[in-house]
Structures are given as C-alpha cells and as structure tokens.
Amino acid sequence: MQNLFLYNSLSNKKERFEPVKEGYVGMYVCGPTVYSNVHLGNVRTFMSFDMIYRYFLHLGYKVRYVRNITDAGHLTDDSDEDKISKKARLEQLEPMEIVQRYTTDFHDILNKFNFLPPSIEPTATGHIVEQIEAIETILKNGLAYEVNGSVYFDVIKYNEKEHYGILSKRNIEDAIENTRNLEGQSDKKNPQDFALWKKAEPEHIQRWNSPWGSGFPGWHLECTVMSTKYLGEQFDIHGGGMDLKFPHHECEIAQAQACNHINPVKYWLHGNMLTMNGKKMSKSTGNNILPEEIFSGENDNISKAYSPSVARFFMMQAHYRSILDFSNDAILAAEKGYNRLLEAIELSKRLEASETSTLGVKAWSQKCYEAMNDDFNSPILIANLFEAVKWINLINDGKESLSSKDLELLTSTINTFVFDILGLENAQMQDDNSEKIDGLVHLLIEMRKKARDDRDWALSDKIRDELMDLGIQLKDGKDGTTYSLN
C-alpha cells in the first residue's frame, strides 16, 4: 500500500493513514437532508469523498463506504417545525413524498456527475429502533436524562471524564455561548445539553412511539447509530463539510463515547465551502446556482451551459480543504483546461513508440501518486497531468520520444488518474451526435486539403476560419490535420 497521509481534524495535522484493519477502509460521510434540491456546495463535499473513495479502491483497499440519507425531520434551528414537515405542509403532501422526490433528485444529480454509489446508503427512518436502543444505553450509563417526554444528553456530566469539544477545540463556556435557543430549551438542565429524543408537539407530522412517548430522534443521533452499526465501534474515516464540525460531529463523538466507551473515528476529514463570485451562496440573495442550471446554462451567473464533467473538473482543481469560488470566468477557464486534457488523451492513442525515451515517465508517474498521497492533493495532481499533456504534444511533433514501455506507462497512468480517480468522463464522446460531428469535420478537413492542393487558399482559409467561429480549431501537423473543440 502507498504511504498515504491525511489531514485529521481531530489533531489538526497530517497523519499517516493506518487503517483499523489492515487492507480495509471504513468510511462514513454525512449525507443530505432531503427536503430540497441538492445544491452545488453539497455536491462539492460529496464529490471530494467520491474522489477519496475512488483512490482507496485504486490502491487496492476493500472499502465500505456509508453515506446516509436524513429523512427524519429534526429541529436544527429555533423554528417550531422541521424542514421536511414544513415542506410537506406547504405542498400538502406526505413527508415521505417530499423525501422520495428529493432523494431521487439527489441520486440523479450525483449520477450525472459520475459518482460511484456508496456501499450502504442507510436512512434515519429505517433506524429508529437502533436510535431508541442507543438512547436507552446512554440513559443507563448516566449521561442522559428524560424530561416531559424528551431525552437530553448531559454534556456537563459527560465532560467530567471526557472532553466535549475535542474535535472543534471548544470548551464548555464556548458551547454555552453557541447553543441554539431551541423550542423546549427550558426543559434542559444545562443550556449546552442537546436532544437525543424530542417529544412531538401536535403539529409535528413525523413521529414514532418510544419508551418516553410519541416523538422523534435528535439531529445528531442517526449518524452515531448508523456509522457504528455498519462500520464498528471504531472505524477509519468520518467525512463531511466543515459546517458540521460543531455541533453535529462533536455530538456524534460524545454519543458514541457514552454508548461504547471508545472514540469512534480515527481520522476526521472536513471539506471546505463553495462560494460564488466571492460571496457565500444563498438562495435568498440570488447568489446561487443549482447543478441543473449549470448543465442547461439557464442562470444569470453563467454565459453558457457546461457538461457535468467540466463542472467536476472545475471542482477537482481545488484542494478539498480549500475554499473554492465559482464564477463564470472560473468555469470557462476550467472548460478550456478540461478540453486540452481530453484532447491530449485522445492524441496519446495515436502516438508511436520509439526505441529510446527522452522523458522521465516513471518519476512523473510517482509524482502523481505523491500528490494524492499528500492528503488527496488534486490540484497538484492536475498540474502533473498537464505536464503529461505538454509531453504528448511534444512527442506528436517529433520533439521528444518514448519507448513502448514508457509510452504504455504514460497513457495508463494519465487514464487511471483522469477517469478512475478524478472521475472525469469524455463529454464529447458522451454526446449522441459526436460521431456525426466528427464525420462532418473530417469531411471539411478533406475538402480543405483538396483546396490547398489546388492552391485555392481563399477556400482553405474560409473553411478554417468558419470552423473556428463554431469553436472548432484545426491543427496542421506533420501527420495531417487534427481538430479540437474549444
């Protein structure tokens, strides 16, 4: 296995990856709450972990990747009604109709972005029994209390022996200042305590029977229950957005410790946010874009439509822990880079091997792995891939050469990283009309060649220039004329 280092949010430093069980990886990522269309910021987080999942698979690990669906309405702010129930009430639908609609949307969008499906995709409503059992265990261990049909986690009592704040680096005083003023707060012993089970008010649609009466589980409990059920009391990686570090992930640690007396996760990985035009994405201000609007071009913030693979390449150009800003100029530049990369890969299929090599392919291939082994550094990887693009063009022009062994290593490595690990697809090849376009362009290339042979320079230039106006650039080389789509 490779010498892989991950940035662990628990220690705030890079650590060498050593799995709980040799050859196996257990990874849990917090999935969506399905009450609205998945937005691009969510997609970026899930895409980062899709890339990480792909790399572990490539390295030969047996990976169990668990990503949940939150389909039980939790109170996460100071409103009286959860988001799923509120949406269901407004649209006069059953909560599960809302859940089904937006779960389907989530899967459709991720499929378009070429995500690999997780090994297990459990739902909160499918694990109510296990959540009740976990609450009973925490009560039995003296770290929770029941008041008026609700059950709360006793943070002060827990903090006597453990550290509530170990992940977010907060102390109890910070937790008090940042505690949300939720409905029923007066039932708590301490303001920083959090709900494990909430009594359902009459207007709350989603509710289940429990030993404490009719209610619903707290926001944080499902992830503790499902991650440890499918990955064990301690597992390798827990991922999610940085916005979940506190309180969600902090509470997950506390619940797992209270149940199983062990820190549940070895490596906590957190992805950073996606901004737009230098500002936070927000539906209320209009500074927002949905994935489907990128694919259709129907958004005032972009000048044209972009394929899912171009959007994926745009996001892979930034490190998963860095803030990434989306803008029309940024994705337009990404499209140009993506086209250059895919054109070089197509060109590499036609390269001829030489007896000797003038380029150090083995060292270059190792640099690609070194980038990914350094906390999945996709931007450095992509820089290395563009070094190979330059090489491919130089070989095609007869200025450099590779032996058959090195040429095979170059093409296999670039294909592996572009398609298997970064998860890109050839958008041009996906187009149903690509074969027709290719045929028409080659017909025009032949007509231009005849015009040049006949010294009809005006017709030759007219074909070249009008193709350029259509975004098709001709390239004349020693082996004939090729083209690229800009």
- How many Å apart are CA 209 and CA 482, to the nearest integer? 68
pLDDT tens for residues 86-99? 888 889 999 999 99
Least confident piece of the model among 170-174, 330-334, 384-388: 170-174
Judged against a pLDDT cut of 90, whether residue 133 lies above it is answered with yes
- Banded model confidence at residue 282, pLDDT cuts 50, 70, 90: confident
Model pLDDT, residue 183: 46
- 8 A C-beta contact, residue 289 and residue 276: yes
pLDDT score, position 309: 97
The Cα–Cα gap between 122 and 126 comes to 7
10-19, 70-79, 275-284, 469-478: least confidently modelled range: 70-79
Distance between CA atoms of 133 and 127, rounded to whole angstroms? 10
**Hey, CA dihedral for 278, 281, 282, 286, is it positive or negative?**
positive
Q: pLDDT at position 442, please?
A: 84
Q: What is the dihedral of CA 329, 330, 333, 334, to 10 degrees?
A: -150
CA dihedral for 88, 91, 96, 98, sign (positive or negative) = negative
- Residue 333 tokens, joined: 């530049």
Token pair for 310: 């171009």
pLDDT of residue 438: 75
d(CA 28, CA 236): 9
Domain formed by 275-428, architecture: Orthogonal Bundle (1.10)
Look at residue 339 and tell me whether its pLDDT is greater than 90: yes
Domain ranges of the chain: 5-271, 275-428, 431-485
> Cβ–Cβ contacts within 10 Å for residue 283, how many?
10
- How many CA atoms within 13 Å lie on the side-chain side of 239? 28
Q: What integer pLDDT is reported at residue 307 of this predicted model?
A: 96
DSSP 125: G
pLDDT, the chain, mean: 92
Rounded Cα–Cα distance for residues 477 and 350 (Å)? 13
Q: Does the domain made of 5-271 have the CATH classification 1.10.260.40?
A: no
Q: Give pLDDT, residue 422.
A: 98
Cα(29)–Cα(227) distance, integer angstroms:
9
Instruction: Note the pLDDT of residue 441.
Output: 86
**Digit-coded pLDDT (tens) for 206-259:** 999 999 999 999 989 999 999 999 999 999 999 999 999 999 999 999 999 999
Q: What is the mean pLDDT of residues 302-316?
A: 97
Q: Is the pLDDT of residue 162 over 80?
A: yes
Q: Which of 23-37, 163-177, 424-438 comes out lowest in average pLDDT?
A: 424-438
The model's pLDDT over 27-78, given as tens digits with 9 standing for 90+, comes to 999 999 999 999 899 999 999 999 999 999 999 999 999 999 999 877 665 4
